[in-house]
Amino acid sequence: MKQLDDLLGIVGAANVLTGDDTVSYCTDWRDRYHGRALAVVRPGSTAEVADVVRWCAGHRVPIVPQGGNTSLCGGATPDDSATALVVSLRRLNRVRAIDTDNDTMVVEAGCVLQAAQQAARDAGRLFPLSLAAEGSCTVGGNLGTNAGGTQVLRYGNTRELALGLEVVTPQGDVWHGLRGLRKDNTGYDLRDLFIGSEGTLGIITAATFKLYPLPVAQCTALLGLASVESAVRALSAARKGFGAALTGFELIAGRCLDGVVECFPQQRIPFDGPSAKLPWYALLELSDSESEAHARERFEAVIGEMLESGLVSDAVIAENVAQSNALWHLRESIPLAEKAFGKSIKHDVSIPISRMAEFVGTTNAALQAAFPGVEHVIFGHLGDGNLHYNVAHGKAFSEQELLARQHSVYALVHDSVHAFGGSISAEHGIGQLKRDALPKYKDPVELAIMHQIKRALDPHRLMNPGKVLV
């Protein structure tokens, strides 16, 4: 197409894709959203991103930024108009610098999260952002959605881990904000404005992240629990016993582990007898900076108290790294097992921890009353109040029958989340999945300010149109 000739000069012919070559970029990971693109452009530097954006601004061409294309809310999928340019950042995949004295790392947006973790580890440091998609998601997408993951309890979301950003604005200017400073009180915090904006205000091309010392020892255990109430009390006991050393506390419904074992027979639930069929489990991890012996003694003492008090029904403590990895592999295989069993209706919600048990009980009952026989596939990061509260078709519905009811299911669950003082998006973002629901649950003044910011930064609404804001 002649109108794309300028782009060929910016990124090279091999990096301007059209026709069938764009298909994989226009379908989301869950196969729920399908769009079409004018073209897919793959810039190889921040300067090339800026040139591409300037071309789009001059021609009023919408832009859909994309990293690993692992969005669960359709946040990186173009619409069906074939008018938008998908800007893939996968070629911006370098770790530019690691400063072990400042404990910072500068990483480009297209770097796969696992590669960033490994680069930090090779330098003797920990980059603690960790989630199930870390082998394919990119740090740009993590920044765009303010991803959380399994260690938020200790280290915070992506926003807490980022010190500075490099951003291409909707006009094609570059904000060089890669400052590795813990303190910089010189005006508005633009960094936090772009993080979590899902590419609707600009394109993040690189970030400066915090690094931490590698833990001397880590201990992992899987707890068997009778109820969500017991899990909340166990979390309180773990916080009291471990303090800041508690790095993860994951809540898992027994049905989730049953699904993993059914789908992946090589894995197993590490309990025998009745403990293998408990309704709830919790996976917790302690990271210690002193010694293996200190970590183990502390870990066994706190979990022993939980068992003696009857708070925990059973517990398996990993004896070595392989067993620890196997426990985490069970947890991380849940989304893959879900996908293998067919599409479900996913909710990524946050609830005050003190109200979590009541929320689960009330919402489960309401769903069963409205849609008898649906399955509750519930897991998530109890330590920071984030549940992946998913609804599967089970034996009562076909996949198509469940999806035909998804708007009613979303409304019921989101209404319940709102009633319990929660949020309809904890770490997956809004994308196009929750865009139309946002005005119902967002404070109207807050939403008006968001629209004002969007108009000020992107007056022509070219950045990731149709996402987040109606």
Residue with tokens 């899902």: 198
Q: Write down the domain spans for the chain.
A: 2-88, 95-213, 217-336, 342-441
Q: Does the pLDDT of residue 2 top 70, yes or no? A: no
Q: Does the pLDDT of residue 151 top 80, yes or no? A: yes
Q: pLDDT digits over 203-259, tens only? A: 999 999 999 999 998 999 999 999 999 999 999 999 999 999 999 999 999 999 999
For the 217-336 domain, the top CATH level (class) is alpha beta
Rounded to an integer, what distance in angstroms lies between the CA atom of residue 386 and that of residue 405? 24
> Considering Cα of 345, then 430, then 420, then 278, what sign does the dihedral take?
positive
Query: H/E element holding 22?
Result: none
pLDDT of 299 reads 93
CATH topology of domain 95-213: 3.30.465
Closest CA to 107 of 72, 142, 76: 142
Q: Does the pLDDT of residue 281 top 70, yes or no? A: yes
Q: pLDDT digits over 262-272, tens only? A: 999 999 999 99
Q: Is 166 helix (H, G, I), strand (E, B) or coil?
A: strand
For the 342-441 domain, the top CATH level (class) is alpha beta
CATH topology of domain 2-88: 3.30.43
Q: What is the pTM (predicted TM-score) of this model? A: 0.93
Q: pLDDT digits over 158-217, tens only? A: 999 999 999 999 999 999 999 999 999 999 999 999 999 999 999 999 999 999 999 998
**Residue 30 pLDDT level (bands cut at 50, 70, 90):** confident
Amino acid identity, position 380: G
Domains 217-336 and 342-441 share a fold: yes
The conformational region for residue 314 under phi > 0 = left, psi -120 to 50 = alpha, else beta, is: beta
Q: pLDDT digits over 89-131, tens only? A: 999 999 999 999 999 999 999 999 999 999 999 999 999 999 9
Rounded to an integer, what distance in angstroms lies between the CA atom of residue 251 and that of residue 3? 52
- Measure CA 308 to chain center: 36
| Mean pLDDT, range 28-57, rounded to an integer | 95
pLDDT of 300 reads 93
Closest CA to 199 of 6, 438, 469: 469
Q: Does the pLDDT of residue 70 top 70, yes or no? A: yes
**Residue 1 pLDDT level (bands cut at 50, 70, 90):** low
Backbone dihedral angles phi then psi of residue 401, each to the nearest 5 degrees: -65, -40
